[in-house]
Structure 1
Amino acid sequence: MRLFGYARVSTSQQSLDIQIKALREVGVEKNRIFADTASGSHVNRDGLSLLRVKVEHGDVILVKKLDRLGRDTADMIALIKEFDNLGVAIRFLDDGISTEGAMGKMVVTILSAVAQAERQRILDRTNEGRVEAKIRGVKFGRKRTVDREKALAMKDKGVGATDIARNLGIGRSTVYKILKDHETPI
């Protein structure tokens, strides 16, 4: 039985250090720890892909927490099945659970569903906050850099969209958008 480790953070502002330290403390060799800096909402991650190729029958994969392996229930079930078919067990250190045995697989499936639900709640709260901010007048996106007044003045002087675009260093489609936004309904 060989021990492998998997660690994941969602963004480059987060650190893998705590997870890697925990894996090393339980005996995973440094060269058998695979890591990703990517969202857990999908399984297309380089470290995870490499881990899938390296493990063999009888190996055990250690992961600090369930949500570090993934957040999508369907993906997690597919991963667990894939590793199970290879004869590879997964143990989650902080959660105290393992895919070994029927009960372990059931618990992991339930917890995967909970992780996915939590991710959806986070997205919902983020969207609600964005809507409330818009109501308060907060503007999202980058600040406008095109001199819209100059574009409109040029159009009023009879300059065509192509020449306006060339003069302002913008695309013609941007000129048309400015003109359309400025139109008054009849």
Structure 2
Amino acid sequence: MDLAYCRVSTTAQDLARQIDAMHAAAVAEEHIYVDKRTGANMDREGLTALLAFARPGDRINVLTLDRLGRNMRETLNLVHDLTERGIFLRTLGDKLTVDTSDPGPGTDMAIALLAMFAQMERIYMLERAAGARAAKQARGLPTGRPVKLNATTRAGAAQRIKDGAIPEQVAADLGISRSTLYRELRKHREGTIANQCEKGS
């Protein structure tokens, strides 16, 4: 059976291109597992569900190997574990083709190189971010994360949830994570309480 895994790093990013590639590869919609989480670690709901479902003889399709993860050791360990379980892995969009149903030195080398490139890119990304923060500090500019929602948007999100909306859907509509939504809702409650106290004094 062909299965698929698609991942983007944040809730604001779009999975459509990856999912379209899986449809083109004839993977059934119900067998496509997705995550909107960083690839820096392997603790992801969609990936966990996929690994629990997969059986010997199944094949997991990803667009590129870095969708599995950007930590070289954990990615290689995952590929090894899949091989031990008799589960195959295929990439659809990498320049170096990976298909573990056709094992050999070339496949092993492609996996190792792609995993190394993914980790190097993550290291460079972190270095660029650190450089940007340092440049802002040198100019006296703020370096923290920008405010996700303003007071009006927080109030609207709070009202939607009060009216019965699912928090995960509200977060997705706003392009933020569920944990960020909860932090913003807490700010809204604290602001509401503060305003009531001021009016009462």
TM bracket, shorter-chain basis: 0.7 to 0.9
CA 1:22–1:86: 2 relative to 1, 3 Å = same
Aligned match of 1:11: 10
SS at match of 1:82: helix
In 2, are the aligned partners of 1:8 and 1:37 still within 8 Å (CA)? yes
* Matched letter for residue 98 of structure 2: I
Post-superposition offset of 1:140: 2.8
Aligned AA (2:60): I
SS of residue paired to 2:116: helix
> Contact 1:57–1:87 (CA<8 Å) still a contact in 2?
yes
| Percentage of matched positions with identical amino acids | 33
Q: CA deviation at 1:98?
A: 2.0
* Structure 2 gaps, min length 5: 147-193, 195-201
Measured after TM superposition, the shift of residue 139 of structure 1 is: 2.4
The answer (yes or no) to whether the contact 1:99–1:108 under 8 Å persists in 2 is: no
Alpha-carbon shift at residue 58 of structure 1 (Å): 1.0
How many equivalent residue pairs?
143
- TM-aligned CA deviation for residue 62 of structure 1: 0.5
* Equivalence for 1:98: 99
Aligned residue identity for 1:92: T
1:142: how far off? 7.9
Contact 2:64 2:93 in 1 (8 A): yes
Q: Deviations over 1:109-147 (max 9, x none)?
A: 12101110110001001101110111111123489xxxx
Quote how far apart the aligned CAs of 1:105 are. Answer: 2.2
2:139 aligned with 1:124: no
Residue aligning to 2:25: 26
Q: TM-score, normalised by structure 1?
A: 0.73
The match for 2:111 among 103, 108, 117 is: 108
User: Which structure's CA Rg is the greater one?
Assistant: 1
Shift of 1:70: 0.8
Match of 2:189 in 1: none
Distance 1:37 1:53, change over 3 A: same
Q: Which runs of 4+ in 1 moved over 6 A?
A: none
**1:52 Cα offset (Å):** 0.5
